[in-house]
Amino acid sequence: MKALDLLFGKPLATSEERGEAVGPVAGIPIFGLDALSSAAYGPEAALTLLIPLGLLGVHLIVPVTTAIIILLVIVYFSYRQTIEAYPQGGGSYTVATENLGNGPGLLAAAALMIDYILTAAVGISAGVGALISAVPSLQKHTLLLCLAILIILTIINLRGVHDTGVAFMVPTYLFLATLLIVIAVGLFHTLANGGHPTPIVTPPKLPTATAVLSLWLVLKVFASGCTAMTGVEAVSNGVKAFREPTTKNAKLTLTIIIALLIILLAGIALLCRWYGIGATNPEGPGYQSVLSQLTSAVMGRGTFYYVTIASILLVLSLSANTAFADFPRLTRSIALDDYLPHVFFIRGRRLLYSYGIAALVTLTGLLLILFGGVTDRLIPLYAVGAFTAFTLSQAGMVVHWLRSNRELGWRLRAVVNGIGAVATGITTLVVLVAKFVDGAWVTALLVPSMIFLMTQVKQHYRRVEVDTDNPKSLSIENIKPPIVIIPIDRWSRLSEKALKFALGISPEVIAVHVEGSDDSHSICDEWEHKVAAPLREAGLEVPRLVTLKSPYRYILAPVLDFILEQEKNNENRQIAILVPELVVTHWWENLLHNQRANLLKVLLLVKGNQRTLVINIPWYLEGH
C-alpha cells in the first residue's frame, strides 16, 4: 500500500470529509479554470472564421463579443439563483430532473457527460497544440503528449480535491495576472494615443477580404465564439465542495469568475480591434495564436511574453481539471438514480468517486486517440452539450420558482431564469444548426444513444429490485440439506477432502465417474476398499457411486446431464455439486490444469436454475 500512498496520498476516513472543503481563493482555480481558459480559444475560434472578411472581420469581433457577454451576464444571474436554491449542488441534471421530469433530466445528463469529456479532451489538446506552436519539433508526438498530460492529471486528481486546488492555484493566477496586465497596458497605450496605439511588434498583415458579410457567417462566428462560455456552470454543480457558509462562498466565487471572464473577453476583443489583430490560418505556415500576437504587440517579445505564453499553455492543459472535479460528481448523482452502474457512487480511498474518474480518463483518452489530439477536429462537437444543459437548467429553475410560489420575489426570479432559458435555448439551436455538418451531428447522435443506455440500466436495476425484494419473513419450510454430487476421477487427497465435506453437510451424497479411454487409476477400482469399507465399518451411510459413459470423450456433458436429471427428479430439493479446485502458487500454473471446474460452473449457471449450485473445495499446494 506504501507506493499507492506516495502516489495518491494516504486513505481518508469518512469523518475527514469536511477538511476537504474549499473557499473562493482555492475555488477559482478548481471551478473557474475551465471557464477562464475558454478566453484563450473562444475569441480565436470566432476570429478564425472571420479571416475571409479581412479588416471587416476584425471590426466585427466587437459586436459578436458583446452579444456573447450579454448572454454570459444573463446566464450569470440565472446560476446565482440556482446556487441559492440548490445548496447541495444544483447541476443541470438535478435541476432538470426535479423540475422538468426524468426525460429532460436524462437529456441534461447525457449532454453534460459529453460536455465534460470534451472539456477534458479540448483542454488537453489545446494546451498541447499551443506547446507545439512554440516548439514545432514536438508535433510528431502530439497524441503521446496529450496522453501523458491526461495521466498526470489523473494522478493529481486521485489525490483529492484539496491537493488539487494547490496544484492549480499558481498557474491560474499567473494566467490571470499576465493577461490582465496585457489588457491594462494595451488600454493605457490606446487612450494615450487617441485610439491608435503603436504595436511594439507589428502583427501579421490582415489578408484582403475574399468573402462578403452574411447572416449565416455571423451565426457561425457566434456559435464558435460561444465556446468561450463553456464551463461557467461548474460552480453551481459543486456548491457542496465549498467551505461554510457554502452558498455565500459559491456565489462569491461565481461572481469573481464571471467578472474576470467578461474583462478578458472584452479586453481581447477591443485590443484586437485597436491593434488590428486577426487570426492566422491554423493549418497554414507562419501560424501564430491571437493571444501571442496580442501580447507581443502590447508588451514586446521579452521575458514577460514568454511567461504569459507559458501560463496560457499550462492553464489550457489544466483546464481539463474542471471535468475531473465535476464528472465524477455528475455520474454519482445519475448512478444514485439507478441510471448508471452503481460503482459510480462507491467512494475510493481519498473520498473521491474513483470509478467516475476512471470512466472520464478512459473516454477522454479514447476521444484523444480517435481525433489524434487535434483541437480543430474536437471543437465542433463542443458547446452543443454545454448549451443544452444550460437551457434545461434555466428552464428547470423557472418551474422551480413557479412551484415554490410562497417565496419572496419568486416572480422576478422566474423571469430572470426565464430570460436565461430562452437566451440559451436559442443559442443551443444556433450552435446545433451552424455547426451540424462540422461535427455537432456526432453529439446529436450520441445523446439519444446515451439516453437509451441509461434507460436500459434503470430498467435492469428496477427488475433486480422487484425480483429480490422480500416483504415476507424467513420461511422455515423446506430447510433441509442438499443432494450432493461429487465428480471424481481417481482417489486422491482432493477427492477425500471433497467427500468428507459432502458427508459433513448432507446424508445424500452421490459420487459420479466418467468412463474415459485412460482408466488405469479409476476411482471404480478403489471405491470399495478405500471409501465404502471404512464408512461401513464406522456405521455410516456409504455414498452411491455412479459411472457415466462418454463416447465422444467429453467429460463435462455427461456430468451436466446427470446433474440436470437429478434436479428434475427431486423437486424442491437443492443439488450441490462439489468440485475440487487446485490453488496454485503462481498464476501461470493455472495454465497447466484444465479449467473444467470453472467451465462446469459456467455451464450450470447457464443451464441450471435456482436449485443447483457449485461448491469449490480449494486445495492448496503445499509450500504455499
Return the ∠ at Cα 46 (arms to 300 and 276), rounded to 5°.
Answer: 40
Our CB check for its own copies shows the closer of 25 and 346 to be: 346
Q: How far is CA 546 from the centre of its chain?
A: 55
Single out the residue of 155, 583, 599, 607 in contact with its own copies (rule: CB under 8 A).
583
Part in contact with its own copies (CB under 8 A); list of ranges 220-228, 318-326, 400-408, 606-614: 606-614
Distance of CA 356 to the CA centre of its chain: 5
Does 594 bind its own copies (CB under 8 A)? Our answer is yes
Which of 208, 473, 520, 572 binds its own copies (CB under 8 A)? It is 473
Q: Is residue 620 a contact point for its own copies (CB under 8 A)? A: yes
CB atoms under 10 Å from CB of 623, counted, come to: 5
Looking at residues 10 to 29 of the shown chain, list those that interact with its own copies (rule: CB under 8 A): 11-15
Residue 602 makes contact with its own copies by CB under 8 A? no
Q: Stretches 190-198, 230-238, 247-255, 612-620: which one binds its own copies (CB under 8 A)? A: 612-620
Give the residue ranges of DSSP H helices in 51-101. Answer: 55-85, 92-100
- Binding of its own copies at residue 572 (CB under 8 A)? no
Q: Is residue 500 part of the contact set for its own copies (CB under 8 A)?
A: yes
Q: Which stretch binds its own copies (CB under 8 A): 240-248, 363-371, 417-425, 503-511?
A: 503-511
Cα–Cα distance for residue pair 603/617, rounded to 1 Å = 18
Gyration radius of the chain over CA positions: 33
Pick one of 461, 519, 546, 556: the residue that binds its own copies (CB under 8 A).
461
- Assess 148 for contact with its own copies (CB under 8 A): no
478 lies in the site for its own copies, by CB under 8 A: yes
Which residues, 6+ apart, have CB-to-CB distance to 229 below 8 Å? 35, 38, 42, 68, 71, 72, 75, 383, 386
587 is a contact residue toward its own copies (CB under 8 A): no
Q: Which is nearer to its own copies, 186 or 482 (CB)?
A: 482
343 touches its own copies by CB under 8 A: yes
Half-sphere exposure of 107 (CA within 13 A, CB side): 18
**What span, in angstroms and rounded, lies between the C-alpha atoms of 209 and 416?**
41
CB-based contact 268:290 (threshold 8 Å): yes
Q: Is 482 in the site for its own copies (CB under 8 A)?
A: yes
Q: Give me the count of residues in the chain.
A: 624
Which residue among 63, 204, 245, 618 contacts its own copies (CB under 8 A)?
Answer: 618
Task: Return the number of the residue (173 or 619) whose C-beta is nearest its own copies.
Answer: 619
Identity (one letter) of the amino acid at 499? L
468 binds its own copies (CB under 8 A): yes
Are the CB atoms for 564 and 607 separated by under 8 Å? yes
CA separation for the pair 246, 486 (Å, rounded): 63
Using CB under 8 A as the binding rule, whether residue 481 contacts its own copies is answered as yes
Site for its own copies in 530-569 (CB under 8 A): 530-531, 533-535, 537-538, 540, 551-553
Q: Does 460 bind its own copies (CB under 8 A)?
A: yes
Name residue 388's amino acid.
T
Residue among 411, 463, 544, 607 that touches its own copies (CB under 8 A)? 463
Q: Near its own copies by CB under 8 A, which window of 36-44, 220-228, 344-352, 357-365? A: 344-352
**Rounded Cα–Cα distance for residues 207 and 286 (Å):** 13
Residue 283 engages its own copies in binding (rule: CB under 8 A): no
What is the nearest approach in angstroms of its own copies to the Cβ of residue 552?
A: 5
Site for its own copies in 230-269 (CB under 8 A): none
- Residues 6 or more apart whose CB falls under 8 angstroms from that of 260 comprise 32, 36, 176
Q: How many residues bind its own copies (CB under 8 A)?
A: 82
Per CB under 8 A, which region of 25-33, 161-169, 339-347, 416-424 contacts its own copies?
Answer: 339-347
Q: Interface mask (CB under 8 A) for its own copies, residues 405-444, using x and -? A: ----------------------------------------
Q: Are strands 575-583 and 509-514 parallel, antiparallel or unpaired?
A: unpaired
Considering the complex, what minimum distance in angstroms separates the CB of residue 481 from its own copies?
Answer: 5
Torsion angle (degrees, nearest 10) of CA 219, 223, 228, 230: 150
DSSP 302-365: SHHHHHHHHHHHHHHHHTTHHHHHHHHHHHHHHHHTTSS-GGGG---TTSS-HHHHHHHHHHHH
62 within 8 A of 273, measured Cβ to Cβ? yes
Q: Does residue 467 interact with its own copies by CB under 8 A?
A: yes
| Least Cβ distance, residue 237 to its own copies (angstroms) | 21
